[in-house]
Structure 1
Amino acid sequence: MTLQNILESIEKKQFKTKRAQIQIGNVTSKKKTGAPVGALEVKQPQIQIGDTVKIKLIKDGSDRGQFYEGTIIAQHRAGISTTITVRRIFQNIGVERVIPIHSVLIENIQIVRRAKVRKAKLYYLRNRVGKSTRLKERFK
């Protein structure tokens, strides 16, 4: 056996399976989000910071949904992994929930009202109580 043959046999043993070539635009995976690759094409309303939204979340096995209504205080854009942070007041306690907007567990997102804001993140609402948490409504 020549040195070349020995090297080839070692390479075949070490690299039994070839990795699939990754093409541009084909980097989303089902394992990461649980959503199919074409899930970005689903029509979602144009949500913005300050919007009050009503989101219908579906439990894993049932047809019944659970509504979650609150104000969007942050949005983290990352393609199919884009998330929004929704804040609401429940029994005088502020509750925030991070929701992936392209998740298969979201049936629909409905915009209740739009607010006029000048910041990208509304974290200052965490320090406010009562009527001071209200935002000025935006009309088209």
Structure 2
Amino acid sequence: MAKSSKASSAAAKKLSPEALIRSFESSQQKDDLPEIYVGDTVRVGVRISEGNKERVQPYEGVVISKRHGGLNQTITVRRIFQGIGVERVFMLHSPQVASIKVERRGKVRRAKLFYLRERVGKATRVKQRFDR
């Protein structure tokens, strides 16, 4: 009888591969992320380490796409810097992302805003949404 109780407790401690992955992902996910939608203007605080110093650099722009879900969720943020469009892809649950703040909500009717890449100047603006 002692052997069967040991075997059952060992089986209870041993997780299936799917359960093990799920438990690891849930421990790595951030809980304090705001609701981010495509079209929103966000400010992402990115951790940058220079030598032995670490600082947080803000990156502000329009979210033009969201991909994946869970631990691998990413957003693509586009901004215009010195007349040139710059896009960065951020993994939301990455330790390199210190903070995310939604500056304003955008009113769009598309899931991906890749058409903004061809637009120049004031045509790249997104209307503001007030109901969210």
TM bracket (short chain):
0.7 to 0.9
1:65 aligned residue: 56
* Distance in 2 (alpha carbons) for counterparts of 1:74 and 1:67: 19
* Distance in 1 (alpha carbons) for counterparts of 2:125 and 2:48: 31
TM-score normalised to the size of structure 1? 0.74
Choose from 65, 83, 108 the match for 1:117: 108
* Distance in 2 (alpha carbons) for counterparts of 1:128 and 1:29: 43
* Distance in 1 (alpha carbons) for counterparts of 2:103 and 2:79: 13
Structure 2 unaligned spans of 5+: 1-13
Task: Report % sequence identity.
Answer: 45
Q: Which letter maps to 1:51?
A: D
Q: Which has the larger radius of gyration?
A: 1
Q: Which letter maps to 1:91?
A: Q
2:93 aligned residue: 102
Q: Which runs of 4+ in 1 moved over 4 A?
A: none
Greater per-residue strand proportion = 2
* Count of aligned pairs: 116
- Deviation, 1:26, is 2.6
Distance 1:42 1:93, change over 3 A: same
- Taking only aligned residues, the RMSD between alpha carbons, in angstroms, comes to 2.1
1:139 aligned residue: 130
Q: Which letter maps to 2:32?
A: K
Q: Which letter maps to 2:104?
A: R
TM-score normalised to the size of structure 2? 0.79
Structure 1 unaligned spans of 5+: 1-19, 31-35
Answer whether contact 2:63 2:75 (CA < 8 A) is retained.
yes
- Deviation, 1:28, is 5.7
Answer whether contact 2:64 2:114 (CA < 8 A) is retained.
yes
